[in-house]
């Protein structure tokens, strides 16, 4: 699906700066790897809590639209826009989780898909523009939302933006790794492995999963906010089911044993295959087959629980 | 107004018949495997592209094209079953984990099919020989005194759907194979213990489901007269939607869900427009799942996913 994949070549726009370390193309690729890691991580959180969501792309979209509107239409700084996007993403995920998190398996997956598609169609119906500096800015239905140019106006170079994305990703990863070693992380995996037993042990499974869903929603929204400012342009069909399932696939290929898993999945696909132009044109044929084969041998991904347990010496 | 309502109902039923066929295939696979096959629509799309190729290359007749679509879909379906579903059956995985692995693997193959067809036939859109060239029948002027048209394609679709439902019922309830399928659907473990070759049943059900999907895909592309790579996503989404509305794992539910989805879409499209049509059908599914997840025509025995 070429349409959802951000065009890596985009970052190859003329950009001169002294003392640059990486070339522009590589910067674009690495930025994309960072952006989509947030989406993969949000799918991963729900997967280890035992729920499969086909709807994380909606929160990615909400983050993109909300942050874009905050900076481009109301002149807010990026940090404020990101906080707003994360809050909205968490709130939306919470509201959608409220009636659906009692459901399991395919029922939950389809309910989240329905919600996400509704949100995408609402983006298509959303016409909300205002004049900023003599120019109409804002979401314009299926035409999308153009001119999210905060990083250019604030004098951010692509390399600076890359650092920002990866710094935020590092913070998120560190927090997740810390959580996974804590009692909370043990509870998270227990709820995912055996919800029945967990509730007998006194955990309110639905309430716990609501918290997880809200956290996952805010992570996806963070990715979306960064995506909107990287691309400067978003449109509703960026956020269709293809995007969400890609996020899930990244999480599962990389492995469900550690928060590094989703990152590895994104690196393998966007970083290695999409960017190595050797396979251009045949990429999905090779990659699709490899993923199916990989899952035959490692149904919980490359960095699965058993491997992570061995690597960490069982000290989790 | 009345004529509009009737017209929409007719169109909706015809469209709903296609959805019902798609949902039947999905439900069969889900019934025996307890897992969703995301590349179900992609296999149908592959079949439709095989037929498009045959029509461009040999100017084949309609019946041949239908058979080629079905054969292509079955072939692609068997490939998906071998690579994404069969390996996860025998590995002692927890059902939930196997379901996720199979689903993501089948998604990967969906992407593969999409790239294969776009490399094979790179145009965005191909014309497909129409099911019927003539004008629509006017059945309203005589009986109601107003215009009420019935497309011949719709009649053919409805007839095919009815025939498939009848045939499927005969297969499932009047043959030994059908008995084995129902046994596997109800109790896979016990079915295996009583001497049924479960993996053989699985692959045959997969082939049967892909054939039904292939026929539905053929009816869709021949009615619309065109093929695009979007057919894959469209079939998967509509099939899943109709299946869930009717009730997961229920064969009568698949038919009811398909018809309801078709009717709701036809009426909302007429009164509210195409974007609201999709909005309303997703809203219907969401509300239904929130308040009554078993669906409109549930299975007597609820399924665990």
Instruction: List, as one string, the DSSP characters of A213-227.
Output: HHHHHHHHHHHHHHH
Quick one: pLDDT at residue A10?
Answer: 41
pLDDT at B86: 87
Of A17 and A204, more confident: A204
Q: Is the pLDDT of residue A304 over 50?
A: yes
B275 band by pLDDT with thresholds 50, 70 and 90: confident
**Would you say residue A12 has pLDDT above 70?**
no
| Average pLDDT of chain B, as a whole number | 90
Give Cα separations from B196 to B112, B137, B173 (angstroms). 33, 49, 16
Indicate the residue of B84, B93, B119 with minimum beta-carbon distance to A281. Answer: B119
Residues 6+ apart with CB under 8 A from A166: A30, A34
Is the pLDDT at A285 greater than 90? The verdict is no
Query: Would you call B104 and A252 a contact, using CB atoms and an 8 Å cutoff?
Result: yes
Touching A: B residues 247-266, CB under 8 Å: 248
Per DSSP, helices labelled H in B144-250 are 152-174, 176-186, 188-193, 198-224, 230-246
- List the single best residue of B36, B111, B264 to mutate versus A (max A Cβ within 10 A): B111
Structure confidence by residue, pLDDT tens digits, B62-120:
999 999 999 999 999 999 999 999 888 766 667 778 888 999 999 999 999 999 999 99
- At residue B290, the pLDDT reads 94
Average pLDDT over residues A14-33: 71
Residue B279 to residue A283, Cβ atoms within 8 A: no
Q: What is the pLDDT of residue B298?
A: 87
pLDDT of residue A18: 44
Name the residue facing B112 among A52, A122, A284 (closest C-beta): A284
Task: Lay out the sheet containing A130-132: strands in order across.
Answer: A130-132, A135-139, A145-146
pLDDT > 90: percent of chain A: 64
Mean pLDDT in residue range B234-263 = 94
- Are B298 and B253 within 8 A, CB to CB? yes
pLDDT digits (tens, 9 = 90+) for B109-149: 999 999 999 999 998 899 999 888 877 777 766 666 667 78
Chain B contact for A143 (CB, 8 A cutoff) = no
CB of B76 within 8 Å of any CB in chain A?
no
| CA dist., res. B84 & res. B95, Å (int) | 14
Of B110, B286, B305, Cβ closest to residue A104: B305
- Whether the CB of B294 is below 8 Å from some CB of chain A: the reply is no
B279-295 in b/e form (b: 16+ CB < 10 A) is bbbbbbbbebbbeebbb
Tens digit of each residue's pLDDT (9 = 90 or more) over A44-95: 999 999 999 999 999 999 999 999 999 999 989 999 999 999 999 999 999 9
Nearest residue to B234 via CA among B220, B248, B215, B255 = B220
Q: Between chains, do A296 and B99 touch, taking CB under 8 Å as contact?
A: no
Q: What pLDDT does A244 receive?
A: 92
Cα A255 from Cα A305, distance rounded (Å): 8
User: CA–CA separation, B28 vs B209, rounded Å?
Assistant: 6
Q: What gap in Å lies between CA A264 and CA A245, rounded to an integer?
A: 16
Residue A15 confidence class, pLDDT cut points 50, 70, 90: very low
Task: Supply the DSSP symbol for B145.
Answer: S
Q: How confident is the model at residue B300 (pLDDT cuts 50, 70, 90)?
A: confident
Segment A168-174 shows an average pLDDT of 97
Whether A252 and chain B come into contact, CB under 8 Å, resolves to yes
Chain A residues 257-286 with a CB less than 8 Å from chain B: 281-285
Give the Cα separation of B82 and B211 in Å (integer). 16
CATH number of the structural domain A24-311: 1.10.3470
User: Phi/psi at A98 (nearest 5 deg)?
Assistant: -55, -55
Q: Residues B229-243: what's their mean pLDDT? A: 94
Report CB contact under 8 Å: A249, B108.
Answer: yes
- For residue B77, what pLDDT is reported? 95
Domain ranges, ordered by start, for chain A = 24-311
Domain ranges for chain B = 16-128+161-242
């Amino acid at each position: 699906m070429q349409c959802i994949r951000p065009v890596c070549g985009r970052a190859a726009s003329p950009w001169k700066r002294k003392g640059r370390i990486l070339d522009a193309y590589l910067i674009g690729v690495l930025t994309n790897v960072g952006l989509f890691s947030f989406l993969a991580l949000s799918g991963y959180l729900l997967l280890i809590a035992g729920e499969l969501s086909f709807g994380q792309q909606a929160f990615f979209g909400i983050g993109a639209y909300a942050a874009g509107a905050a900076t481009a239409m109301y002149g807010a700084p990026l940090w404020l826009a990101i906080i707003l996007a994360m809050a909205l993403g968490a709130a939306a995920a919470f509201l959608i989780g409220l009636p659906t998190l009692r459901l399991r398996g395919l029922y939950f997956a389809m309910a989240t898909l329905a919600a996400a598609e509704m949100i995408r169609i609402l983006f298509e119906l959303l016409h909300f523009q205002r004049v900023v500096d003599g120019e109409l800015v804002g979401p314009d239905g299926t035409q999308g939302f153009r001119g999210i140019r905060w990083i250019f106006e604030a004098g951010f170079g692509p390399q600076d933006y890359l650092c920002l994305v990866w710094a935020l990703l590092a913070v998120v990863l560190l927090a997740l790794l810390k959580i996974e070693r804590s009692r909370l992380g043990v509870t998270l995996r227990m709820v995912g492995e055996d919800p029945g037993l967990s509730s007998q042990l006194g955990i309110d499974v639905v309430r716990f999963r609501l918290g997880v869903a809200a956290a996952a929603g805010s992570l996806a929204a963070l990715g979306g906010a960064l995506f909107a400012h990287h691309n400067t342009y978003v449109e509703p069909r960026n956020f269709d089911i293809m995007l969400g399932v890609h996020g899930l696939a990244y999480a599962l290929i990389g492995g469900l044993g550690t928060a590094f898993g989703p990152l590895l999945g994104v690196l393998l696909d966007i970083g290695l295959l999409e960017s190595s132009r050797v396979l251009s044109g045949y990429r999905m044929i090779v990659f699709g087959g490899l993923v199916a084969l990989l899952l035959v041998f490692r149904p919980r991904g490359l960095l699965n629980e058993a491997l992570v347990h061995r690597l960490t010496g069982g000290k989790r | 107004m009345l004529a509009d309502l009737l017209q929409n109902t007719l169109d909706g039923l015809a469209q709903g018949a296609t959805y019902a066929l798609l949902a039947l295939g999905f439900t069969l696979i889900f019934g025996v495997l307890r897992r969703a096959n995301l590349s179900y629509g992609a296999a149908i799309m592959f079949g439709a592209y095989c037929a498009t190729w045959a029509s461009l290359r040999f100017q084949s007749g309609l019946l041949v094209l239908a058979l080629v679509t079905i054969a292509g879909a079955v072939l692609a379906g068997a490939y998906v079953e071998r690579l994404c579903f069969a390996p996860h059956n025998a590995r002692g995985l927890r059902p939930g984990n196997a379901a996720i692995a199979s689903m993501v693997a089948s998604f990967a193959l969906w992407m593969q099919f999409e790239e294969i067809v776009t490399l094979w036939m790179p145009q965005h859109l191909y014309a497909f020989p129409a099911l019927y060239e003539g004008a629509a029948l006017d059945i309203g002027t005589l009986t109601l005194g107003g215009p009420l048209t019935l497309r011949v394609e719709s009649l053919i679709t409805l007839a095919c759907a009815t025939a498939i439902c009848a045939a499927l019922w005969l297969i499932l309830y009047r043959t030994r194979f059908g008995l084995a399928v129902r046994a596997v659907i109800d109790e896979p473990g016990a079915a295996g213990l009583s001497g049924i070759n479960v993996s053989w049943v699985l692959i045959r059900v997969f082939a049967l489901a892909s054939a039904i999907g292939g026929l539905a895909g053929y009816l869709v592309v021949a009615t619309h007269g065109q093929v695009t790579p979007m057919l894959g996503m469209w079939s998967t989404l509509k099939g899943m939607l109709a299946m869930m509305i009717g009730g997961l794992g229920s064969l009568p539910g698949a038919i009811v869900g398909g018809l309801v989805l078709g009717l709701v879409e036809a009426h909302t499209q007429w009164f509210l427009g195409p974007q609201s049509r999709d909005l309303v059908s997703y809203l219907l599914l969401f509300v239904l799942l929130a308040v009554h997840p078993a669906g409109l025509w549930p299975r007597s025995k609820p399924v665990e996913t």
